[in-house]
Structure 1
């Protein structure tokens, strides 16, 4: 598995697989710690601005959060989209860390190889349409979701949306709530104003028993639908629309809940009754409505194995399919796009970071042969690069040994990339069939 350097690279163009809702945030190598983020990440987190109808200034006390779920739609709470402060109107959706690609920065591949960087920018996107969930408009549900349509799709190929959940990640098969910790992502300041210096922070939270959600409830304000779509967690000081996520083993960041807002963190020097726990709107029950509203498909038209209504191929022996860029990652193989139960049989067995710091202009390409363990088959290779320089090539998938070629051009600055390989156990299916065949033959021995 040592890299072999070669001088010539032959790259053949292959069709890429692009599916709406499957083109979402996939970063298997990123495992953030609690606290402020030190690197550019979670660019799908935005803020909803209210603009004063007379002087055009933004609201300085209420700035809800929104989440980008496709390149033209963001998700927010229904209260933030419908209950606008007096004297204000819906303004823009602001992305403080808008990661531009090379096309928008007007940088060539040669300039990038010489060390030129595309600095993040601030994106203010007007809102074209607002869609409130029917339970909020017609059935009196106080806490629900809304979809905001942006006036134009986001063009940068590095601005990947967050993933919608394909299942209820918060409930186990036995009907109990999960005890795993969730990632809660939000801006560091209560009211983001200067997005140039605005930071994001990560908080790890846990679910609380459902009984605690109703201790502070007024029965007159509750509806029959809210309890099944609400959860309470640890923590305090959450803001409306801030998302909570799970990091799947495939690397996808899936939204599981949006915060309803709540009480600020209590002063530890003043003894008083603890505030009500933070409440969150669960996303999974709304996935059929979200996908129907965006795609225009009826709920009954969704495929059973795919809540988003798209038929996604699971495996292929052809090396020409499923190869293409997804943000900063080159996906080699159709199985790289699998999530959920379709990805239960795959695991990551190889991850390595390569870093080069040449002393002069250098032209180099990586060539690797990744050999899996005995009884395993390699079905996916992911290549992470700072920019989409060239097209890596992955071939001989569905075999124990896969070949990877990563082209690099002439460069003179430090360059870093990473390679991941995913496989499945080829002997698991045959092993699971042995007991059944043995049990069928035992009665014949008794006779």
Structure 2
């Protein structure tokens, strides 16, 4: 601009300018920090007050909408790979040159059968299993030859675990009240029970149909792959190992039906005896423990048992208080049989002998609990004699109690009304188990 002097501004502070860092910094207002955002976590009491009821409501609605099926089991993968998955060869007990001459393979394995015990499905819906059991009809008296040999039934009691008393006697009563006169009950033990007054009374009353025997496993194993094996001394405090061993040995030697002592028979087993069988453990189809030997049937010197003995001697020794010689052994044997093209033994559905081992809505009521006050059980099983429960019990063949020896049956409960009292009435009748039956 004309007439006006222009002086440029300095681009940097002159040397005479004061040091800016010599001045103290401005004071900061301490209220500045209170306006910063900070997360606010809910108090624990507030969380429980609102969250817990919401979670419970969601669970309740889910339960009413969905039907949960939960089962958790843990198995060592190394154990599965070593004990379950491998399929070692069979011994060859079904080969003609090795089969016992008293075992007819053509008849036992391939002969015609008149009853069907495989439903082909798990039968977990409603009372399907009990209804299926009812399709197996009793044999007419004319179908049983009067001179036929007796069918052996075996059971076992460890004398060192508990004395034999009235509670154990129920098993004997159930046998004599339900089985036909062509049967014989052999009670095995690890000691002499002939001095027991209760058992002596049964020997006196049924001299041709009841026997007491001591289980000498070394004598019973002669002629089997277990002969002279150190495994014969296996036992545990629960009588699982020695019980499973005796079970197989006595049926091998004499043939017949095995019944665990903690079982109440409800129906004549004769229609089932054209099959060799074990039973289903429960209705849940356990992948590694699906089978049970509490009720089983095999013929004398059955090749199935011969192969079971071979598997026992060539496998890892059993674990104490385990089902290694029971459920797990039967599964391993079944898999080897089908792998080599041999028809396996049959498997009875769970409710035939173990109706309490299933879902809450279709299991048998607890034998040791009083009947519900409303007079009804689930799925229409009614309290009254002649009602739903009574009809289903008449279809199945046994009630397995699972060793609850310390418990008693409630007076007036369903076991008392529908089983025990009827045993007493049946045994009070005269004329049962009389002449015309072979003593062989």
Q: Do the two structures share a fold, i.e. TM-score over 0.5?
A: no
Q: TM-score, normalised by structure 2?
A: 0.24
* TM-score, length basis structure 1: 0.24
Structure with the greater alpha carbon radius of gyration: 2
Write 1 or 2 for the structure with the bigger share of strand. Answer: 1
Tell which has more relative contact order, 1 or 2 (C-alpha 8 A, sep 6+): 2
